[in-house]
Structure 1
Amino acid sequence: MSLIEQINKKRRDIKTDGYPMAISEWVSMYEQGELDIHPEFQRFYRWSEAQKTGLIESILLGIPLPPIFVSQRQDGVWDVVDGLQRLSTIFQFLGILKDHSNKQVPPLVLEKTKYLPALENIQWESEENPKNTLPKELQLTFKRSKVSASIVLKESDETAKYDLFQRLNTGGSELSPQEVRNCLLLMINKQFFDWLKDLPTDENFINSTALSDRPLEQSYDVELALRFIILSEIPEGQLKGIGDVGLFLTEKMTEIAKNRRYKRAAEKSLFAATFEVLNGALGEDSFKRYNNKKKRHEGGFLLSLFETVALGVAYNISNGTLCSEAEISKRAKSLWSTKGFTDWTSSGTTASRRLPRLIPLGRTVFSKNNHRHDSNH
């Protein structure tokens, strides 16, 4: 296929529209439920008060803002792809912003700026001190100000929407790969998103993974849950064809989210059983390196251990072949004396090369039929 043919094909995958809209029109869509800014993503909305004031100042001064990118759902509602913080700031200033629990967010009180020091303590409406209310003339100017909409129409390909998310992931708070997937998942199937997000709230999972705050802020626990449901029972023949693991996870997630026959209850049961076993056998050491010389676990969470231990235990639970709980702890420690494990966990080993070796290894190691797991395994 020639370059021109490739470009023409991809251009057909993404159908767009766009036009300038007054802030009052954005407000109307938000209040009528025709615009979804996804308050589920609280981390994305974390501008400082100075940044928020800066945006309001720009609008009052007539400085053009970048367009808001939205994706049109099948029901016609616009999902905000890029521009969440700008719209949230505008709605908070106007006193209409709702949080993820549908509760009113306290209205924005502006700070003084270099160019407009008189903005200090200004609000859209201040009943306590009318002097701090934005003058009516400026309110009208504000509401009539234009912010362009760039719309990805519902006919567009889902993968193209995901690519768009990644390309627009600029400025402010950079999103992690799973946060970008979360955005896409909300568009495809919100119920599945809620189900997936609920999996890592399992207490045994929380205790055995012992993740620190930063990865939790970036939805890494949700990514681990996604890896679990995709890889725990994947046929070994498919492992070598994974390629780019991030893209593979996204494509499989989309496929599962669209599959109405997907057995969520059975998958949730396997997830819960796996981490109940691991928490009982190893607790918060489940995915930490084992120091053979010092005879103790050290360091933080290791993804390669999760891929070997959690997925191996899950596979054997599913097949009724799991070894005893006492053996789980011994065999997890013995991995650090196993060449087939240590060779593929060194830094620089890509996930696409690692997974075809570690997943089958974990399935073998934690099987009750494996009576001879030793350093030569």
Structure 2
Amino acid sequence: MLDESKLEKEITTDAVDFSFGELLNLHRDGEIIIRPEYQRLFRWSTEQRSRLIESVLLRLPIPPIFLVENDSNILELIDGLQRTSSVLQFLDHTAIGEPELILSGCDILPALNGVKFSDLSTSLKFKIKRTPIRAIIIKKSGDQYVKYEMFKRLNTGGSLLSAQEIRNCSSRMVDGGEHFYSVIQNLANEQNFLKAIERLPDPSRERRGDEELVLRFFAVKNYRDGYKGNIEEWLDSYMEDVLLQHHAFDAASESGHFNRVFNLISAAFMDGAFSRFKSTGDSTGRLAPAYFEAVVGAVSDELPAIEGKDVSTLRAKLIDAFAHADFLASTGPGANSIEKFRKRIDVVKAYLLV
């Protein structure tokens, strides 16, 4: 039977129709915040943005946007960034610090190709500015966990946002979430960390793969028992437990430990810390997440014992660990099983402690 008391956790929303002209003015006045650091501002191509403008002129339906009200009653866009930013760029590219949008790829109204906003007639300019879009405003009151889950569910059905981008945006639904995200973001820019993850592919970096590695580091360090074999669910659960204060996270202490670990990793293993080695001892290939877990888990667990060791010796030991049959078996097929997750950490740990 449904526990009706759980329905008391429902969140309060308002539905408002804003015109694009109003959204532009509210953004200029700082009453609506668009944060491109949470969702890459323009993952859409110029053609996709142009077709949205074409759709606006054709009066085709446009999905709603979602905003959340913060403690200062400022509205923050949490879903619909691509749609909103595309139209604002066309209306006034300086308002969002982007190049002027010149339309291309319009196939229903091909005469729009090569056109910018200033080229339009006054009536068409008004038509775009006065076109309404439904905005769902999530009030600042309401259960934090429900708001957090709401944002996840809004985005996990599609493929525009990566798992880490969804986590970053969702964190803003919870008090203190912005601070936790800023810790992750700052650590992702530490020089020794950047040196160690140089082999992370650029497409992964563009989708916040670097920030996900920071989160994964802390999950390996603090939440190993929460690992059930699904990486995404494990990272989601760890972040939710931190945000909802079910799991302690002292930002200063954790950041200090993170920096000590990566100071050692970058000095001893350089950019080969999380990738395979050739027979010559040179690292090769892209960063492998299973290797990342193994190395950061081992170094984090045994940091005081490892810190004083000669870095060239540590590198040689890591090469030997990566070549060991047990390590190779734990990073091959089925690598996400709990047993193999633990085994690869233990193998690296044993070699580095010798």
**TM-score if structure 2 supplies the norm length?**
0.83
The alpha carbon displacement at 1:53 in A equals 2.0
SS of aligned partner of 2:260: helix
Corresponding position of 1:147: 133
Given candidates 222, 225, 228, the residue that maps to 2:214 is 225
Q: How many residues align?
A: 347
- 1:283-314 superposed Cα distances (whole Å, 9 cap, x missing partner): 2221122456x655433212222112122112
Pair 1:351–1:16, CA change in 2 (3 A): farther
Matched, 1:206 2:207: no
Contact persistence 2:54–2:109 (CA under 8 A): yes
Partner amino acid for 1:215? S
Q: Aligned partners of 1:214 and 1:6: how far apart in 2?
A: 44
Contact persistence 2:275–2:291 (CA under 8 A): yes
Corresponding position of 2:69: 72
SS of aligned partner of 1:43: coil
Given candidates 171, 182, 206, the residue that maps to 1:194 is 182
Q: Aligned partners of 2:110 and 2:185: how far apart in 1?
A: 43
Stretch of structure 1 that moved more, 308-317 or 261-270: 261-270
Matched, 1:31 2:28: yes
Corresponding position of 1:277: 264
Q: Percent identity?
A: 27
Q: Which has the larger radius of gyration?
A: 1
Partner amino acid for 1:45? F
Q: Aligned partners of 1:112 and 1:363: how far apart in 2?
A: 55
Corresponding position of 2:122: 136
Contact persistence 1:82–1:165 (CA under 8 A): no
SS of aligned partner of 2:107: coil
Matched, 1:89 2:113: no
The alpha carbon displacement at 1:63 in A equals 1.5
1:107-126 paired onto structure 2 within 5 Å: 107-111=100-104, 113-125=106-118
The alpha carbon displacement at 1:84 in A equals 0.6
- 1:58-83 superposed Cα distances (whole Å, 9 cap, x missing partner): 11222121111233334433332321
SS of aligned partner of 1:343: helix
Corresponding position of 2:60: 63
Q: Aligned partners of 2:201 and 2:276: how far apart in 1?
A: 16
- 1:70-117 superposed Cα distances (whole Å, 9 cap, x missing partner): 333344333323211110011112215544xxxx32332334733334
- In structure 2, stretches of 5+ residues that fail to align are none
Q: Aligned partners of 1:115 and 1:44: how far apart in 2?
A: 26
Given candidates 42, 46, 57, the residue that maps to 2:43 is 46
- In structure 1, stretches of 5+ residues that fail to align are 126-131, 372-377
Corresponding position of 1:128: none
The alpha carbon displacement at 1:220 in A equals 1.0
